Structure formats: C-alpha cells, structure tokens
Structure 1
C-alpha cells in the first residue's frame, strides 16, 4: 500500500520539487514504499526517482537530488502498528480493568516498533517477506520476548495462534548480522529454575548475536478473573533467581545476563554497581534503573538542592514500594543539607492494581490522592514515570488535575534524575 504524505516541510527538497501533502509515494527508485522506515532507508541515495499518486489515483513521476545540508522534508501519516495475536498467560493488558483509556489496551507486536522504540516482540507474526526485509535493511537490533528456548514450553507461555520456532528465526536473522536484546518474563513453576538455566545457556551461543538477556518477574494484578492461576515471586524465590543469574554469569564468563531491579527489591539485596549494567541496554525494562537513578542523583544533587531552595516549602517525596529503600536514602541525603526544611517519604501502595504490583510506572493518581495527605506548606515530589508522554496518569489525570485536587505545588522529577519541573 502506498505511503500517504501527511505534511511537507516548507523550504525542503520535497517542497521545492512540488510534492504535496495528501499525495502518496508509490515507488522510490523502483522500490515499493510501505512505511516510514522504507522511506528513510531508500531515501538515503543521492538521486531519488519518485512515483507519486494523488487522491484521484493519478500518478506522476519526479526526481530529487539530495543535498547534504537540506532535509527531504516528507512526513508520512502515523504508522499503524501490527497487533499481537498471542494470548500470553501473563499478559499485563489482559489483567487491566475495563473503562480505562483505549490506548492502554493496545497490544503491539511489531518488528518496526521493536527496532525504533525498543518494544519487545515475540516473532510469531513474522512473514517470509518480513524476515527478508529485516535482513536486507539490517533492521537491528531487535528486542525479543523469548521467555523460553524450548518451543513446547514457550507455546504454553505465549499461546500463539501460529507457533513458530523462535530459535530457528533467531539463527536465521543472526546469520544476516542481526543482533538481539532478549527478555525472559519469569513465571514460577513454568520457566524458572532449571528451565531458566537452560534457556540462558542456549542464548549464550555466540552465533545468535545476543547482546543482552533480561530476566524480569511476572507481574500479576488483582484483575485475573477467568485467567489461569499463576504464582508470584517472594523474597526466597527472588533470591534464588538472583543466585542462578550470578552463577550463570560466572559459568559463561558473560556480562550480558541481567536481573530486573524488582528481584533485588524482593530479595532485600543491594542492586549491583554501575559497571555491572554496561551501557544499560535494558533500562526501559526496569533493569539498572535504581542504580542509574542513584548515580545521576549524586551527579545532580547540588543542582537539585538549588531547586528545592527556590521555595520555602517542605517536601514530600512519593515513591513505589519496590523503590522505597533507594529513594529513602536519597531523601535522607537531601534532608541533611536542608536542616531547616521537613523532607518526608511517602510510599504509595498500589490499591488500584493490587498488592503484587510495586513499581512506580504503574502508580495511579487515585492511589496518590487517596493515600497522600501532605501538610499545607508542602510541595509534592512525584516521579515522572507515572505520566505518559502526553502527560496523563494511567487513570487519565494530568499534573494540573493533581495540583487542583491536592491544592499543592508538584515537582515532577525524571526517575533517572536527569530533569525536573515545578508545577502549581
């Protein structure tokens, strides 16, 4: 299907050539253009021969010669991602209550989103044409939800309508030079312990081009009516999993095997030092975030103290249960430098999703307003990860809404302590 053009940047090469918004790109240098990634890949040539089509279906041809200092200037319409056709026994979206924002129920399983945004894919909906394209355009690295290297066990976990041999696909793509970041959502009684050891051992094959292996605990909400019964990790099983990963790192002399921060929180252990996480390849997966937060805070502590001193108010810091130990250390460190202020920590219990959900990114506005009762002279410090890129919490509230309801100023801090912004 031709790629529809949403807008043309004024003064760009496309604008000078007369390309119009509303037209569609049928071909570029003789190649069918399917999406924004095709456009970016094939538009890197010096000479660009376009076949365009207008809304009436009339086609025309034109040629553009690239200039290094000028943009091509074509913006296509928003890409429609490929949906997930699996029915994973641990799917978090299946464990969400009804009545939330429609976008929260979207399940993508799209290799383009994997490459561009780092979204994890299962490989189960890849067609032969997709595999060929990934190799041809070197769409790498890809982020793969593997969960198990055993096909039978993997099928029990993801319940795909079209089961695939994931390892065979990895080998084929790796043979083309594609590399992977992999994740294993670890489910007690399914792919933990010996199965976890075997899966990680299989992924240690250098021919697979695996750049990282992230092991994360299954997340279970209280909304599991009609879903299969699963167990969560506790302190003992989390510690056992950490020991397994430590042993495997030593056994294979490998530094690409990582455990999610949540395992350390459950086990009551310190997270590793910064060098352990290399360049933090799976920080968006909750792996290394606590250590990175601590490192960045230490670097920016002086600047943050200046921010706190801009107001005469006291401060209440909000954090999740899993981050309590580390954020408490930060708050205590700040309090020593601000003896004339009252700095407190409020740990938010996740009543919305249930007791087993303990990470900051899943805290709702309702739980914050329901549990937090700050004094009148207090500014609330919130982690930015409770808001999406449009500024909404999971239950659809904005920062402004929270300021209004709580009648307090709010200081929103990036969870990695890289930025902050005051509201009120």
Structure 2
C-alpha cells in the first residue's frame, strides 16, 4: 500500500513541478521506509519546507553525515550502543560502517520495533522507554558497553518518553551511561567523543 501511495504522489509531484515550479507536496520518510524504497535525493526536498514535520529529515541526516569530517581515531577503545527505530536500520548502515572506521570505536546499532504501539516498523521518535528496556534484555553482555546513545527525538521536552518513563529512570535500570543525542550527525559525533573522553585513562 505504501508503494501504491508513493506512485500516486510522485505522479502528482511531477504535475506540480510543471505547473507550479515546485514539488509542493512531499511524502513523509516513513512511506519510503515502509515500501522498502530508496529515499529521494536531497534536491527532491528543495529547501526542506516540511522539515518541522520530519519530512526529509532522514535524507538531510544522511546528506549532512557525508559532509562530516570524522577523526582518524579516539584516545581510548570505546564500545557504544546506538538505539534507533528499526524503520531506519538499513538506511543507517552506511553511517555505522563509516563511524566504525574511526580507530578504537565499536558502534553497534540496536534497531527496535515498538511492542508498546504494536508496530512492525517503528520510527525512532515513537520508541518508548518500555520498548528500549525490553530490547536491551536481548543484548548480550550489555555491561561491556561504555554507553547508550539515545536520540533526543524519542523524548518529549527532552526528558520523557511517550510512556512517561524518563531517560534518567532508563539509565538507572540499564546500568550504563545514557547519552542523549541531538543536532544531527554533528551531535552523534559529539556524543561519541564525549563518551570517549570519559573512557580515556587519566
């Protein structure tokens, strides 16, 4: 059904571009993720007029990440777990691969489907604290990780998940540092470097 919607809307977009000089109407990222299709290129979104609604946010993240200059290495070995909704698992593989090219860093992705909402595919912004706690139970040797990267988009007002669990309560139950990640690719790199400086000797 998602593929059918994409085909219908793309036909309208072509019409709008011809008549209005703009794509005018954009599909949310979830449609492409559900259909298993490639995201449109960055130029498709023009100046990202619907970014406030999350439309094109994944493409923008991936495009910005390609421009980020990564360090060759970090001061001390670091093992980090990155929580995301499983809808973006495939899209984020190039990000994970490039991050793991940093000497001393092991970044593992933990893609999660929401049991709370009963969704097969879940975007990161809809993950609840219960979803994350449930998924962490299946992680082997969780204590070996130096930290858990938590996208800020999963928190309302920067503090609580949609099930009202706070990130501090999550951290208390997880037993390893939880770092909130905001600000796109730069925020991801900053969070990793922040954990790295904690792990460094001295």
Closer/same/farther in 2, CA of residues 377 and 311 from structure 1, 3 Å limit:
farther
Matched, 1:334 2:102: no
TM-score by length of 1: 0.40
Match of 2:74 among 309, 314, 331: 309
Which residue of structure 2 lines up, in the alignment, with residue 360 of structure 1? 124
Specify every segment of 5 or more residues in structure 1 that has no aligned partner in the other structure, as ranges.
Answer: 1-236
Matched, 1:395 2:159: no
State whether residues 313 and 377 of structure 1, in contact with CA within 8 Å, keep that contact through their aligned partners in structure 2. Answer: no
Q: How does 1:192-211 map to 2 (within 5 A)?
A: none
Match of 1:321 among 65, 82, 86: 86
Matched, 1:299 2:67: yes
Which residue of structure 2 lines up, in the alignment, with residue 343 of structure 1? 107
Matched, 1:247 2:15: no
Match of 2:25 among 245, 257, 261: 257
Q: How does 1:92-171 map to 2 (within 5 A)?
A: none
Q: Quote the Cα distance in structure 1 between the aligned partners of 2:76 and 2:169.
A: 21
State whether residues 74 and 102 of structure 2, in contact with CA within 8 Å, keep that contact through their aligned partners in structure 1. Answer: no
Deviation at 1:291, TM superposition (A): 0.5
Higher helix share: 2
State whether residues 100 and 106 of structure 2, in contact with CA within 8 Å, keep that contact through their aligned partners in structure 1. Answer: yes
Q: Quote the Cα distance in structure 1 between the aligned partners of 2:151 and 2:56.
A: 16
Q: Quote the Cα distance in structure 1 between the aligned partners of 2:34 and 2:57.
A: 15
Q: Quote the Cα distance in structure 2 between the aligned partners of 1:245 and 1:415.
A: 30
Which residue of structure 1 lines up, in the alignment, with residue 148 of structure 2? 380
State whether residues 74 and 105 of structure 2, in contact with CA within 8 Å, keep that contact through their aligned partners in structure 1. Answer: no
Deviation at 1:247, TM superposition (A): 1.2
Deviation at 1:389, TM superposition (A): 2.0
Q: Work out the number of aligned pairs and report it.
A: 184
Higher relative contact order (CA 8 A, sep 6+): 2
Which residue of structure 2 lines up, in the alignment, with residue 196 of structure 1? none
Q: Secondary structure at the match of 2:148?
A: strand
Which residue of structure 2 lines up, in the alignment, with residue 276 of structure 1? 44
Q: Quote the Cα distance in structure 1 between the aligned partners of 2:178 and 2:114.
A: 20
State whether residues 335 and 342 of structure 1, in contact with CA within 8 Å, keep that contact through their aligned partners in structure 2. Answer: yes
State whether residues 34 and 121 of structure 2, in contact with CA within 8 Å, keep that contact through their aligned partners in structure 1. Answer: no
Q: Deviations over 1:105-148 (max 9, x none)?
A: xxxxxxxxxxxxxxxxxxxxxxxxxxxxxxxxxxxxxxxxxxxx
Q: Deviations over 1:309-351 (max 9, x none)?
A: 355321111110211111222111211233x443211111100
TM-score by length of 2: 0.80
Which residue of structure 2 lines up, in the alignment, with residue 57 of structure 1? none
Q: Quote the Cα distance in structure 1 between the aligned partners of 2:134 and 2:116.
A: 11
Closer/same/farther in 2, CA of residues 403 and 301 from structure 1, 3 Å limit:
farther
Which residue of structure 1 lines up, in the alignment, with residue 34 of structure 2? 266
Q: Quote the Cα distance in structure 1 between the aligned partners of 2:62 and 2:114.
A: 23
Deviation at 1:256, TM superposition (A): 1.4
Q: Quote the Cα distance in structure 2 between the aligned partners of 1:348 and 1:341.
A: 22
Match of 1:286 among 32, 47, 54: 54
State whether residues 391 and 399 of structure 1, in contact with CA within 8 Å, keep that contact through their aligned partners in structure 2. Answer: yes
